[in-house]
Homo-oligomer: A and B are copies of this chain.
C-alpha cells in the first residue's frame, strides 16, 4: 500500500487516516437503476459497453456526475478474463452470462491459456486511462477490479450462474489436483490484469470473491481458496495501491478471509460492522454494509437503516460506507442521492 498521506477521503479511509466525513461509493453504482444507463443499454449490448473504451468510460462517469460519490469504479464485468483463457462467454438477455464450453474434465484445465491482459483485456485498460484522466481534476479516485479465482472457477465450471454451485464443488472435491491447477492459472491471469489496471491509472483495486463464502465452509475455504487468494494478494501488493477484498456469506470465517489478504475488507450485510471488525482486527479498514434492499423502502425507513450502519461504524477511522452487495436495479435514484448526502452530513467531523 502506498506510504504518502493521500488527500481524498476514500484513499485516506483505505489507509485508516482520519477523514473530514465518511467516504461513500456503491457497488454497481453504474447500472440499471439509472435512466442514463438504461438509455445506453437500449442501444448497446453488455459486451459492447465493456469492450468499447469510450462507452465504458461514459458509463463509469454516470453516477459520478449524478451523485456526490467519493470514488468511481471502472465499468467492466468480472468474466471477460475467461474469454482470453479460451472459454466462450456470452451475455444472454434474461439469463445472464453463459459459457459455451464449461470445464468438466482435467484436460480442460490443461488447455486453458494464460495470456496477458494487454493482449486480451485492453479495452478495459484503455477505459481506465480515459476515466483516470477525467477524474484527476475532480480529485476522485478510480477503483479497478477483478474477480477472485474461486468465483471465476465457479463460473468456468458451472457454465453460468448457479444456485448451489454443485458442479464446481463436485469438481473441487473430486479433483483437488486439477482444481489447484485451475486456481493457479486464474491467479496468474487475474494478478496480471490487476497490475495492468494499476499501471493504466487505477488508484485502488477491489477483488470480488462473491461466491466463496456462500459456497464453502471454513475448512474447504482454508484448503481450496485461501492459499490461492494469498498468492494473488501477494502478487498485486507490488502495485502499492490499497486493495479491497470483497466477500459475501463468509461470516463464519471472516478472519480467514482477512488473513488471505486486503487492506480493506468489504463485508456483506449479514454481519454487523462491530462484529466484523472484532473478527478481522482493528488494523484493517472496513467497507460496507447496508442491505441494498433497504433502498427500496421510503426515505423515512431507509434513514433508520443507514443510521444503524453509522452507529455500528461509530466514526472509526477506516470506515468506507458501501452496500453489502450490488445495488438493485429497481432502486429509486432519489434514495441514492439522499443517502450519499446524508452519510456525508451525519459523519462530518
CA distance A166 to B291 in the complex (A): 10
Give min CB distance, A317 to chain B, whole Å.
23
Establish whether residues A271 and B170, one from each chain, have CB atoms under 8 Å apart when the complex forms.
Answer: no
Cβ contact within 8 Å between A173 and B301: yes
Point out which of A219, A249, A252 has the most chain B C-beta atoms below 10 A from its C-beta: A252
Residue on B nearest A220 in the bound complex, by CB? B291
A2 to chain B, nearest CB (A): 32
A305 to B301 Cα, complex, angstroms: 45
CA distance A169 to B325 in the complex (A): 14
A298 on interface, CB distance cutoff 8 Å:
yes
Known: A166-B330, A251-B252, A328-B166. A217 touches B173 (CB 8 A): no
Let me know if A297 and B328 touch, CB within 8 A: no
Asked if A165 contacts B293 (CB within 8 A), the reply is: yes
How many identical subunits does the complex contain?
Answer: 2
Query: Is B173 a contact of A294 with CB atoms below 8 Å?
Result: yes
Q: A130-166, CB under 8 A of B: which get 1 and which 0?
A: 0000000000000000000000000000000101111
Report the minimum CB–CB distance from A25 to chain B (whole Å).
20
A78 at the interface (CB under 8 A from B): no
Cα A219 to Cα B308 with chains together (Å): 9
Q: Which of B164, B218, B271, B296 contacts A328 (CB 8 A)?
A: B164
The contact string, 1 if C-beta is below 8 Å from chain B, for chain A 292-319, is 0110111001100100100000000000
Cβ–Cβ contact A298 & B252, under 8 A: no
Q: Contacts A169-B293, A296-B174; is A270 near B301 (CB within 8 Å)?
A: no
Chain A interface, number of residues (Cβ within 8 angstroms): 41
Cα–Cα, bound, A166→B32 (Å): 15
Q: How far is the CA of A289 from the CA of B218 in the complex (A)?
A: 12
Tell me if B173 and A293 are in contact (CB < 8 A): yes
Q: Is the beta-carbon distance between B251 and A176 smaller than 8 angstroms?
A: no
Known A-B contacts A252-B271, A270-B217, A272-B219; the reply to A163 vs B164 at CB < 8 A is: no
A216 proximal to B (CB < 8 A): yes
- Known A173-B294, A174-B298; contact A270-B216, beta-carbon cutoff 8 A: yes
Tell me, yes or no, whether A77 is within 8 Å of chain B by CB.
no
A10 at the B interface (CB under 8 A): no
Measured CA separation A269–B253 after assembly (Å): 12
The answer for the CA separation of A113 and B301 in the assembled complex, in Å, is 29
User: Would you list the 10 A-B pairs with minimal beta carbon distance, nearest first?
Assistant: A251-B252, A170-B296, A169-B293, A252-B271, A173-B297, A217-B269, A174-B297, A251-B251, A252-B270, A217-B270
| Cross-chain pairs A/B with CB under 8 angstroms, 22 sampled | A163-B163, A164-B328, A166-B296, A169-B293, A173-B291, A173-B301, A174-B297, A214-B214, A216-B270, A217-B324, A218-B272, A218-B275, A219-B272, A249-B270, A251-B251, A251-B252, A252-B252, A252-B270, A252-B271, A252-B272, A253-B270, A253-B271
